[in-house]
């Protein structure tokens, strides 16, 4: 198949170069089958150690498994309409008559697929997604630390509110993404395998093995997995559900960063920008455009993948010891991991070349500086016993708006307020006169947050 014959945008568009190299070993169908083979091999190795078969047989099966290809398995499946039986047949064909019985011995299909899916998703998360997110986190920390004193007007409702610093803005994401990284790590570590047979009661393995529960642990240990508290034909659905939640909610944090950055890139705001390559075209008809396409893309991926949690929730429900209405849908779980990697990788790149325009930051701040003093004014007046401080400040801002005079001037010249103002501390008065100093703990907090997350995540 030509790559561009693909239907899924993941395959024909977002999965190439570095991304391909990173994801192929875990998330491709070739990888799926390779992991299934690893579980079949773990089983026969355990059988040999328990002296149910000889180690020669185990070696023979291991060697055979290495030669099985996805194409071969699919060819066999086309004939017999059963994917794991097809896999088993492909191995069996490559071993001696003596070894044949020990391929897939006492296993049910889902012992293999539930376990191998948990394994490869865990590996993809631990070896690809978490490092990408950690790298993004590191970049965010560096921006936050670098810009912890860079004045920015804080915004609520898209309106100028109170002063902060650009580093403080980013610190919010340092903390939120840091939290998600820990959540993903915990959930990946919790993924489980199983070797309890067709309905979870160890019916088949108990025919041969005295303590089939122990044997399950023994098989799974070989591939660094653990069983859950109980299984049916399936591993309990909640392990993967928790992981998908952790990933989707991390994509939400990345989408939020992206929304913020693209709004800060609006023509009228222009507080940040992305350095473009010399050859890069902004728009096919508008050569002057510098569009936040990377941030838009990260948001767009979130729009595509967040709703898929509903599928994950629906797949929690399986009738009795199992129906197979998750046969197609659960195959798409790997796409969620892929999308998170693609988004993290893209966001990492664009954040690493993000430029902060200090002139714009100052310019935007100045537009509102005359009214920014309204909050401290109201609070200070109130603290000094003014009976109606909030309303007084509100009316002064209206007057500042109408007359074009500075709020500070109106405030400091207001005769009725004199008795209060003269009781202010020097520092308090300083803030009323210089609203750019009204940044509270923005800088200190940024430092604290970065320090905390460097520590928690071991980022040097």
Q: What is the chain's alpha carbon radius of gyration, rounded to the nearest angstrom? A: 30
> d(Cα 30, Cα 38) in Å, to the nearest integer?
12
Instruction: State which residue, 51 or 267, has the beta carbon closest to its own copies.
Output: 267
Token readout for 64 is 């055979």
Q: Is the dihedral of CA 411, 414, 418, 420 positive or negative?
A: negative
SS3 state at 225:
coil
**Residue 340: which of 13, 14, 3, 7 has the closest Cα?**
14
CA dist., res. 324 & res. 108, Å (int): 14
Which of 266, 353, 413, 433 lies at the binding interface for its own copies (CB under 8 A)? 266
The site map against its own copies for 382-421 (x = CB under 8 A) is xxxxxx-xxx-xxxxx--xx-----x--------------
Nearer to its own copies, 74 or 218 (CB): 74
- Determine contact, residues 219/195, Cβ cutoff 8 Å: yes
Please give the C-alpha separations between residue 81 and each of 6, 328, 431, in angstroms, as whole numbers: 23, 15, 76
Residues 296-355 binding its own copies (CB under 8 A) are 296-297, 299-301, 303-304, 306-311, 313-332, 334-335, 338
Binding status of residue 67 toward its own copies by CB under 8 A: no
Candidate residues 90, 133, 371, 421; the one interacting with its own copies per rule CB under 8 A: 371
CB closer to its own copies out of 283 and 434: 283
Q: Which residue of 126, 293, 412, 459 would you call a contact of its own copies, by CB under 8 A?
A: 293
Q: Which one of residues 50, 135, 142, 291 is an interface residue with its own copies (CB under 8 A)?
A: 291
**Beta carbons of 262 and 296 less than 8 angstroms apart:** yes
Q: Is 2 in the site for its own copies (CB under 8 A)?
A: yes
Tell me how far, at minimum, the Cβ of 59 lies from its own copies, in Å: 18
Report whether 37 contacts 87 (CB < 8 A).
yes
Which residues within the stretch 83-112 sit at the binding site for its own copies (CB under 8 A)? Answer: 84-85, 88, 97-98, 100-101, 104-109
Measured from the CB of residue 63, what is the shortest distance to its own copies in angstroms? 20
Q: Return the C-alpha torsion angle 88, 90, 92, 96, nearest 10.
A: -160
Pick the closest to residue 329 from 122, 117, 120, 184 (CA basis): 117
Instruction: Report the nearest approach of its own copies to the CB of residue 339 (Å).
Output: 9
| Min CB(224)–its own copies separation in Å | 21
Least gap, CB of 138 to its own copies (angstroms): 17
- Name the minimum Å distance from CB 180 to its own copies: 7
Question: Judged by CB, which is closer to its own copies: 99, or 225?
Answer: 99
Report 152-191 residues binding its own copies (CB under 8 A): 153-164, 168-169, 171-172, 174-176, 178-180, 183
Map the footprint of its own copies across residues 112-141, applying CB under 8 A.
Answer: none
36 binds its own copies (CB under 8 A): no
Nearer to its own copies, 45 or 342 (CB): 342
197: left (phi over 0), alpha (psi -120 to 50) or beta: left
Closest CB 371 distance from its own copies, rounded Å: 4
d(CA 249, CA 332): 17
> Which one of the spans 20-28, 35-43, 58-66, 125-133 is the region binding its own copies (CB under 8 A)?
20-28
Give the one residue of 18, 51, 284, 415 binding its own copies; rule: CB under 8 A: 284
Token readout for 291 is 């569009």
Q: What does the block give as tokens for 88?
A: 């088993």
Residues 194-253 that bind its own copies (CB under 8 A): 197-208, 212-213, 228-233, 236-238, 241-242, 245, 248-249, 252-253
Give the interface size with its own copies as a residue count (CB under 8 A). 199
CB of 135 to its own copies, least distance (A): 20
Residues 421-460 that bind its own copies (CB under 8 A): 428, 431, 438-442, 444-445, 448-449, 452-453
Q: How buried is residue 220: exposed, middle or buried, by Cβ count under 10 Å (0-12/13-18/19+)?
A: buried
Residue closer to its own copies (CB basis): 23 or 41: 23
Q: Which is nearer to its own copies, 63 or 325 (CB)?
A: 325
**Count of beta carbons in the 10 Å neighbourhood of residue 87:** 27
Distance CA 107, CA 43 (A): 9
Q: Which residues pair with 193 in a beta bridge?
A: 227
Rounded Cα gap, residues 342 and 14, in angstroms:
7
Enter the DSSP assignment of 332: G
Figure out which of the listed residues 135, 221, 259, 414 binds its own copies, where binding follows CB under 8 A.
259
């Amino acid at each position: 198949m030509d790559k561009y014959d693909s239907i899924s945008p993941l395959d024909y568009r977002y999965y190439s170069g570095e991304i391909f190299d990173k994801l192929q070993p875990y998330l491709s169908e070739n990888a799926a089958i390779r992991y299934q083979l690893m579980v079949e091999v773990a089983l026969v190795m355990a059988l040999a150690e328990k002296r149910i078969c000889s180690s020669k047989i185990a070696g023979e099966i291991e060697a055979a498994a290495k030669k099985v290809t996805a194409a071969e398995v699919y060819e066999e499946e086309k004939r017999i309409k059963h994917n794991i039986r097809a896999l088993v047949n492909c191995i069996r064909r490559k071993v001696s008559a003596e070894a044949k019985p020990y391929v897939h011995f006492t296993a049910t299909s889902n012992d293999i697929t539930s376990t191998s899916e948990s394994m490869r998703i865990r590996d993809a998360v631990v070896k690809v997604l978490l490092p990408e997110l950690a790298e993004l986190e590191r970049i965010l920390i560096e921006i936050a630390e670098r810009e912890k004193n860079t004045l920015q007007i804080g915004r609520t409702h898209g309106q100028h509110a109170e002063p902060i610093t650009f580093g403080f803005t980013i610190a919010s994401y340092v903390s939120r993404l840091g939290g998600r990284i820990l959540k993903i790590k915990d959930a990946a570590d919790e993924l489980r395998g199983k070797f309890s047979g067709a309905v979870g009661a160890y019916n088949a393995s108990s025919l041969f093995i005295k303590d089939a529960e122990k044997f399950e642990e023994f098989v799974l240990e070989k591939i660094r997995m653990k069983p859950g508290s109980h299984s049916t034909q399936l591993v309990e659905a909640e392990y993967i559900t928790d992981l998908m939640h952790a990933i989707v909610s991390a994509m939400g944090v990345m989408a939020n960063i992206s929304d913020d950055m693209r709004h800060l890139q609006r023509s009228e705001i222009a507080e940040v920008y992305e350095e473009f390559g010399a050859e890069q075209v902004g728009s096919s008809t508008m050569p002057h455009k510098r569009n936040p396409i990377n941030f838009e893309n990260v948001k767009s991926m979130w729009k595509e993948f967040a709703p898929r949690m509903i599928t994950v929730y629906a797949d929690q429900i399986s009738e009795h010891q199992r129906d197979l209405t998750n046969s197609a849908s659960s195959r798409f779980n790997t796409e969620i991991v892929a999308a998170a990697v693609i988004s993290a990788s893209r966001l990492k790149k664009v954040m690493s070349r993000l430029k902060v325009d200090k002139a714009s930051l100052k310019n935007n701040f100045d537009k509102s500086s005359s009214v920014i003093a309204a909050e401290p004014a109201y609070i200070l007046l109130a603290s000094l016993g003014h009976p109606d401080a909030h309303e007084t400040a509100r009316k002064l801002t209206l007057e500042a708006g109408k007359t074009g005079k500075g709020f500070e001037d109106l405030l400091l010249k207001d005769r009725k307020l004199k008795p209060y103002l003269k009781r202010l501390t020097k520092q308090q008065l300083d803030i009323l006169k210089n609203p750019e100093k009204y940044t509270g703990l923005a800088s200190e907090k940024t430092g604290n947050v970065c320090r905390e997350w460097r520590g928690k995540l071991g980022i040097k």
